[in-house]
């Protein structure tokens, strides 16, 4: 079974600053996806960024980037130039690849507050 650990229940950052959210995972699988999802208050969960484990290059999406360390089983999310709209719960999630495998395993989340 896979486990995903987010060790920071809450974080805050000043607007325009940079913040890094931590995520570690445990798996014996070699092929998998990792995701960061964002859940704003009272709004739906949306994908922020995803990383295929076979890719060594870290994924980036505009102000969002990841630091994927496969050997260390670490997958942190960096948010640059933080904006008020980044205030949300952030979930790290794991999905193994394979026929019939569709289960996302989520961490417990990190509540991020962006302070004006």
Partner 1 sequence: DAMVIQNPRYQVTQFGKPVTLSCSQTLNHNVMYWYQQKSSQAPKLLFHYYDKDFNNEADTPDNFQSRRPNTSFCFLDIRSPGLGDAAMYLCATSIGQGQETQYFGPGTRLLVL
Cα–Cα nearest to 93, from 41, 42, 21: 21
Exposure string of 36-66, with b = 16+ CB inside 10 Å and e = fewer, is bbbeeeeeeeeebbebebeeeeebeeeebbb
> Does the protein bind partner 1 through residue 45 (CB under 8 A)?
yes
Nearer to partner 1, 14 or 31 (CB): 31
Choose which of 95, 110, 112, 114 interacts with partner 1 (CB under 8 A): 95
Considering beta carbons, is residue 35 or 68 the nearer one to partner 1? 35
The yes or no reply on residue 62 touching partner 1 (CB under 8 A) is no
Query: Which of 69, 103, 113, 115 is close enough to bind partner 1 by CB under 8 A?
Result: 103
Cβ at position 16, least distance to partner 1 in Å = 28
Number of other CB atoms surrounding residue 25 within 10 Å: 20
Sign, CA torsion 75/76/81/87: positive
What residues line the site for partner 1 (CB under 8 A)?
Answer: 33, 35, 37, 43-47, 50, 91, 95, 100, 102-104, 106-109
């Amino acid at each position: 079974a896979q486990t995903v650990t987010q060790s920071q229940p809450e974080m805050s950052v000043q607007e325009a600053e940079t913040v890094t959210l931590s995520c570690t995972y445990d798996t014996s699988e070699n092929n998998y996806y990792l995701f960061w999802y964002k859940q704003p208050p009272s709004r739906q969960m949306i994908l922020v960024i995803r990383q295929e484990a076979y890719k060594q290059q870290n994924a980036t999406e505009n102000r969002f980037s990841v630091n994927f360390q496969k050997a260390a089983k670490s997958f942190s999310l960096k948010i640059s130039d933080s904006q008020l709209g980044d205030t949300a719960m952030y979930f790290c999630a794991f999905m193994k690849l394979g026929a019939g495998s569709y289960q996302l395993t989520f961490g417990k989340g990190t509540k991020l507050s962006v302070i004006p």
